[in-house]
């Protein structure tokens, strides 16, 4: 995962947005001429008279020749604001994660793409995803020293982290974190509750090791 694709034209301003969406062609590879399907609004929102809606809008993928549409995988980046998941980028083209495989899009890639680094830039606190702490090092880089035995005993309890800095090592982004087992929404951690470590931004599969609370506390 290299980032996300914010797409107001498809996802709308909110889940109850009744605005129609223009289908977006998808391709098997970047700079291809013939599309293999479209991303489109497969279910429109149904607003209620008293406000809100009985069912929100759903964006899906229709492959040419397939009998029905499939849901497009998304991730929430703000309160009720989904975004498509970009797993690669080639110039003005973005490769999107699908439920089965992937596809490339050109439309909105340049204007809507947000890298993981930019997405996290203004987030004061992140939380560690499953398996992340096993990749922690005392120094950045895969050749860096693993956590000491005493540090490893504390590591499983770590929940949230604040980014102190970052460094590129062998083409990989490493984050310098101040991690804590304290829930940041409840209180700020005490100095002796903070644990510093280095963690790769992405794991071996290319997925992020951390994420943020899109809906706040």
Model pTM score: 0.79
Compute φ and ψ for 193, nearest 5 degrees: -100, 0
Strands 58-63 and 70-71: antiparallel
Instruction: Please state, rounded to an integer, the average pLDDT across all residues of the chain.
Output: 84
pLDDT band at 47 (very low <50, low <70, confident <90, very high): confident
Q: What is the pLDDT of residue 149?
A: 40
What residue segments make up the domains of the chain, in order of their start?
Answer: 3-114, 126-211
Q: Residue 75 is encoded by which pair of tokens?
A: 């991730």
Query: Mean pLDDT across the stretch 132-151?
Result: 74
Query: Mean pLDDT across the stretch 132-136?
Result: 85
């Amino acid at each position: 995962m290299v980032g996300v694709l914010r797409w107001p034209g498809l996802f709308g301003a909110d889940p109850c947005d009744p605005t129609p969406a223009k289908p977006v062609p998808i391709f098997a590879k970047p700079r291809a001429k013939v599309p293999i399907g479209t991303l489109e609004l497969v279910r429109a929102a149904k607003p209620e008279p008293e406000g809100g809606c009985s069912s929100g809008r759903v964006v899906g993928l229709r492959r040419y020749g397939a009998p029905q549409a499939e849901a497009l995988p998304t991730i929430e980046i703000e309160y009720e604001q989904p975004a498509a998941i970009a797993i690669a980028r080639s110039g003005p083209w973005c490769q999107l994660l699908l439920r089965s495989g992937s596809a490339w899009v050109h439309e909105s890639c340049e204007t809507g793409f947000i890298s993981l680094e930019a997405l996290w830039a203004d987030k004061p606190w992140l939380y560690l995803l499953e398996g992340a702490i096993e990749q922690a090092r005392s120094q950045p880089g895969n050749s860096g020293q693993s956590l000491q035995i005493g540090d490893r005993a504390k590591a499983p309890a770590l929940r949230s982290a604040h980014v102190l800095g970052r460094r590129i090592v062998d083409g990989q982004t490493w984050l310098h974190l101040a991690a804590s087992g304290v829930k940041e929404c409840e209180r700020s951690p005490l100095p002796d509750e903070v644990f510093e470590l280095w963690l790769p931004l992405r794991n071996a599969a290319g997925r992020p090791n951390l994420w943020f609370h899109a809906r706040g506390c």
